[in-house]
């Protein structure tokens, strides 16, 4: 029997968020019959996922070790390219120790500031994760991710700047790698699920004619759809 999708039902009965580091490749089926899985229900805790990755980085786990034994269904040359891109993006975004540092201070500050700090961390990490994951799921290079969303400027209160920047960096990185690790079948389900939920890109015209601003606007819009339905922040 075909399940009837309802946004109201999904928001009222959200699935438990998944927090494994490589969560997407573990929960989206690797099935060529994508129509069986659209729409697809899942919820991710972006900051928990990102925190797991940041912890591994901070304790010396290498990106190469993360990818060992993962069957990506792609050529070895592409795997090495992915490792190189991920390593470069991680260094450029400085994703590990600042994120861990923000968590360490939470027990030492006033409760009001602590609550606001967590709120900033959650929102900035989720926003960046959503941008990174849709670009990763289109196999966009890390350098393009950095160009579009890596030059982050915090416009809020100065005392939260370091928290915001750190969580943006790790969120963008974690989202991109999660999207990039999807197999072709998983990418088909990922994109058809988002296409089912919106937005419609038809009015934008041929993608070959899009400029940089158009691509950024599209990734922002489709990332917002991913965040609305699949992130718990």
Q: Does any domain span residue 193?
A: yes
pTM: 0.79
Q: Is residue 52 part of a domain?
A: yes
With respect to residue 73, please indicate whether it lies within any of the assigned structural domains: yes
Q: Per the domain annotation, does 2 fall within a domain?
A: no
The residues with which 133 forms a beta bridge, in sequence order, are: none
Extract the tokens encoding 56.
């591994």
Residues linked to residue 44 through DSSP beta bridges, in sequence order = 18, 231
Radius of gyration of the chain (CA): 18
- What pLDDT was estimated at residue 135? 93
- The DSSP code for 18 is B
Q: Would 1 be classed as within a structural domain?
A: no
Cβ atoms of 73 and 186 within 8 Å: the answer is: no
- 153 CB-near residues (< 8 Å, 6+ apart): none
Domain range for 84 is 7-230
pLDDT of residue 10: 42
Q: Is residue 90 in some structural domain?
A: yes
Burial string for 114-135 (b: 16+ CB within 10 Å, else e) reads eebbeebbbbbbbbbbbbbbbb
Domain contains 190: yes
Q: How many structural domains comprise the chain?
A: 1
Residue at 178 is within a domain:
yes
**CA atoms of 61 and 53, how far apart (whole Å):** 9
pLDDT of residue 9: 37
Each residue's pLDDT tens digit in the chain (233 positions)?
333 333 343 444 444 555 566 678 888 988 899 888 888 888 888 888 887 777 766 665 656 665 654 555 555 556 556 666 766 666 666 665 445 444 444 444 444 556 677 777 888 889 999 999 999 999 898 888 888 998 888 777 777 777 788 888 888 888 988 898 888 899 999 999 998 888 777 767 777 888 999 999 999 999 999 999 999 76
Q: Give the SS3 label for residue 13.
A: coil
CA distance 116 to 103: 13
Is 97 in contact with 60 (CB distance < 8 Å)? Answer: no
């Amino acid at each position: 029997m075909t399940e009837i999708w309802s946004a109201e039902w999904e928001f009222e009965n959200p699935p438990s968020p998944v927090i494994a580091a490589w969560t997407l490749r573990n929960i989206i089926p690797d099935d060529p019959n994508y129509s069986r899985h659209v729409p697809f229900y899942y919820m991710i805790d972006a900051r928990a996922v990102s925190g797991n990755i940041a912890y591994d980085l901070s304790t010396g786990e290498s990106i190469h070790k993360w990818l060992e034994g993962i069957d990506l269904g792609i050529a070895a040359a592409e795997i090495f390219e992915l490792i190189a891109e991920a390593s470069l993006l991680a260094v450029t975004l400085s994703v590990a120790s600042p994120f861990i540092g923000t968590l360490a201070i939470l027990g030492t500050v006033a409760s009001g500031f602590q609550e606001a700090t967590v709120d900033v961390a959650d929102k900035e990490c989720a926003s960046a994760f959503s941008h990174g994951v849709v670009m990763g799921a289109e196999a966009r290079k890390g350098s393009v991710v950095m160009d579009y969303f890596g030059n982050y400027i915090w416009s809020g209160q100065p005392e939260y700047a370091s928290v915001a920047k750190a969580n943006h960096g790790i969120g963008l990185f974690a989202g991109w790698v999660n999207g990039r690790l999807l197999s072709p079948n998983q990418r088909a389900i990922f994109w058809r699920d988002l296409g089912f939920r919106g937005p419609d890109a038809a009015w934008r015209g041929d993608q070959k004619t899009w400029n940089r601003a158009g691509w950024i606007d599209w990734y922002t819009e489709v990332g917002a759809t991913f965040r609305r339905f699949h992130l718990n922040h």
